[in-house]
Copies of this chain bind each other. A is one copy, B any other.
């Protein structure tokens, strides 16, 4: 399988460039009989859409999805679901100045060196706009997981540059353009973003994602572990530089007597492991946290070289997110949904006849 597909049974294939005609995706392996319309996908795409507030890129894209195959009379048929999201706002002139320069922090240099050629318009294939496909594929997975198993997948912005945002309520996440879990912090966040934008610089972010009601038993040790597949999927999102499951890096400083989640007939007493033990889901919440680097496209001048290797400087004046992490929440949710769905299917392939011997509530999520 080449690099633009992922998943063993719930298999997602992606194509498209930032300033090409369209992004397209193919979801293969979706079970038949599920009600599915473009609206089901659209509502997730709208959460990721550019231009939704002044804190994100002002590129004008409706991100309208067209389903081209795989459904009949509003239901999935089990055949591959092909879909397109056309690019509408392609101001390639914005990019002419940088076509022959390698922007620091961008994939300009690596694409050029790897392939000998690259599409410089808007970052080409390396543009984070590709994540529309992940969100769309994730929307289908989310729907199936919810309807079939009651699984609920939600994320939020946990850190915005230096600002840590403690979780207060899921309700809040839906009510602000940051996906921040505490509306009382909004003024602070907006102020920070306004200053950042004005400075011409960018910042990083942390996004947390949680999957609730995941049944016990999903994940295939030893290389196809649930957490391994999650880590791979998350790190494949543009700008992600770190992934944690459960306690994550905090586990370094924990004692075994503290980290190991004790069990009682009422379930686990804690969830340091993030819902995965030995690569298999425990029935608790699957908790994931990711680090996103600051946007590489900034207005401040940066030293670089041009396509002939000569020194130069570059300022990126296009329309960019000052913090790519802000729109990352629905993307991370989508990737988690795809991985969980893949493992849901893999689970019932191999273990479809197994009745889990112990009846146990998950306990602490």
Contacts and interface: CB of A to CB of B under 8 A. Distances in A.
Interface string A159-172: 10110000000000
A68 to B, nearest CB: 5
Given A11-B5, A232-B229, A281 B351 contact: no
A113 interface: yes
Interface in A71-95: 72, 75, 77-82, 84
Contacts of A246: 241
Interface string A94-110: 00000000111111011
A9 to B, nearest CB: 5
Contacts of A23: 69
Contact of A77 (B33, B107, B115, B264): B115
Given A115-B32, A117-B72, A251-B294, A3 B223 contact: yes
A177 interface: no
A293 interface: yes
A32 B357 CA distance: 13
A235 B243 contact: yes
Given A80-B14, A105-B260, A300-B257, A235 B236 contact: no
A253 B304 contact: no
Interface residues of A, number: 166
Contacts of A183: none
A251 B4 CA distance: 26
A50 to B, nearest CB: 18
5 contacts: A15-B70, A31-B350, A201-B255, A241-B246, A256-B297
A125 B69 CA distance: 9
A255 B192 CA distance: 13
A364 interface: no
Given A3-B223, A235-B227, A254-B293, A72 B118 contact: yes
A124 interface: yes
The list of the 8 closest CB pairs from A to B, nearest first, reads A107-B278, A3-B220, A232-B232, A105-B260, A3-B224, A202-B256, A15-B82, A231-B235
A247 B293 CA distance: 8
Contacts of A262: 104, 302-304
Given A204-B254, A256-B296, 13 more contacts: A3-B220, A3-B224, A13-B28, A33-B117, A69-B125, A106-B277, A109-B263, A111-B280, A125-B221, A161-B252, A225-B235, A230-B235, A231-B235
Contact of A241 (B245, B282, B349): B245
Given A5-B28, A81-B15, A351 B249 contact: no
A217 B113 contact: yes
Contact of A294 (B10, B206, B254, B283): B254
A35 to B, nearest CB: 11
Contact of A304 (B202, B263, B350): B263
Nearest to A313: B262
Contacts of A162: 253
A5 B16 contact: no
Given A5-B28, A265-B305, A255 B72 contact: no
